[in-house]
């Protein structure tokens, strides 16, 4: 079989990093992208050291020209993308009364518009190929939860769900599937930040009310990404899959 090409945004750390390793282990050529150059390069090098195929390219999803240039360069070297994992995201705590327009706009620019930019750049090549799989990262904060002091994050992640639905319908006839994942509490640098999220103690406290009894690991999400990007999910599109250890069904 021809080796697939999979591009992942925000692949230097966290869920993106684990997704890169998982897709690399599945035999894909992994295009690791991030604004974190040192971390992203290290991920690509580790995949290669393990016998896989990978390369790093710097990509800022808030920069339209950069997104288009990176996708175009990858297509020139390897052909149209087979898989696009739109994972890059931020979460900055900001109480409503002190939230600036700039803070609100930055979150939307990365977490929602950033997905659109990369999909928009990749879609023509996927259309020409007649196939492709897109996986976009939302959050339980985008499908069911509200998060105080993070209303901009909740709103942007809710937008991802709508974006997935709209793109799925628009691109389906071209053979392109678009699905989302809504992770629950996952042990990432973002969740471990005491400044912007739960912090280590808060994350462990969350495990007490998660039915499966633990906080998720990035690998728990990466394996679902691999599934959604695979032919095993060939008749799935427009869906946002909640991966939260039973949190939502256990509390609501």
Residues with active-site annotation: 153
How would you classify residue 94: left for phi > 0, otherwise alpha for psi between -120 and 50, otherwise beta?
A: beta
Query: Could you tell me if 129 and 83 are in contact, meaning their C-beta atoms sit under 8 angstroms apart?
Result: no
165, two tokens? 């639905």
C-alpha to C-alpha distance for 77 and 66, rounded to whole angstroms: 17
C-alpha to C-alpha distance for 204 and 207, rounded to whole angstroms: 5
How would you classify residue 187: left for phi > 0, otherwise alpha for psi between -120 and 50, otherwise beta?
A: beta
Measured at the alpha carbon of residue 229, what is the angle toward residues 25 and 186, in degrees to the nearest 5? Answer: 75
Q: What is the 3-state secondary structure (H, E, C) of 2-49?
A: CCCEEEECCCCCHHHHHHHHHHHHCCCEEEEEECCHHHHHHHHHHHHH
Picking from 53, 15, 48, 49, the residue whose alpha carbon sits closest to that of residue 34 is: 15
Number of Cβ within a 10 Å radius of residue 49: 9
């Amino acid at each position: 079989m021809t080796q697939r090409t999979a591009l992942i945004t925000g692949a230097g750390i966290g869920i993106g990093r684990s997704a890169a390793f998982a897709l690399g282990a599945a035999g894909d050529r992994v295009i690791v992208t991030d604004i974190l150059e040192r971390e992203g390069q290290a991920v690509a090098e580790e995949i290669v050291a393990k016998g896989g195929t990978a390369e790093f390219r710097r990509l800022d999803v808030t920069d339209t020209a950069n997104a288009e240039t990176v996708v175009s360069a990858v297509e020139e070297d390897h052909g149209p993308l087979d898989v696009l994992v739109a994972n890059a995201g931020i979460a900055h705590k900001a109480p409503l009364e002190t939230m600036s327009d700039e803070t609100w706009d930055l979150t939307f620019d990365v977490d929602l518009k950033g997905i659109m930019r990369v999909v928009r750049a990749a879609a023509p090549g996927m259309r020409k190929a007649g196939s492709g799989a897109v996986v976009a990262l939302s959050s339980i904060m985008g499908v069911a939860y509200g998060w105080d002091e993070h209303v901009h994050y909740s709103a942007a992640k809710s937008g991802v769900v709508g974006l997935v639905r709209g793109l799925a319908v628009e691109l389906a006839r071209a053979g392109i599937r678009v699905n989302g994942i809504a992770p629950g509490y996952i042990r990432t640098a973002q969740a471990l930040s005491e400044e912007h999220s739960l912090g280590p103690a808060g994350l462990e406290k969350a495990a007490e009310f998660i039915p499966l009894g633990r906080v998720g690991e990035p690998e728990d999400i990466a394996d679902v990404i691999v599934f959604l990007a695979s032919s095993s999910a060939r008749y799935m599109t427009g869906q946002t899959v909640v991966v939260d250890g039973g949190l939502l069904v256990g509390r609501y």
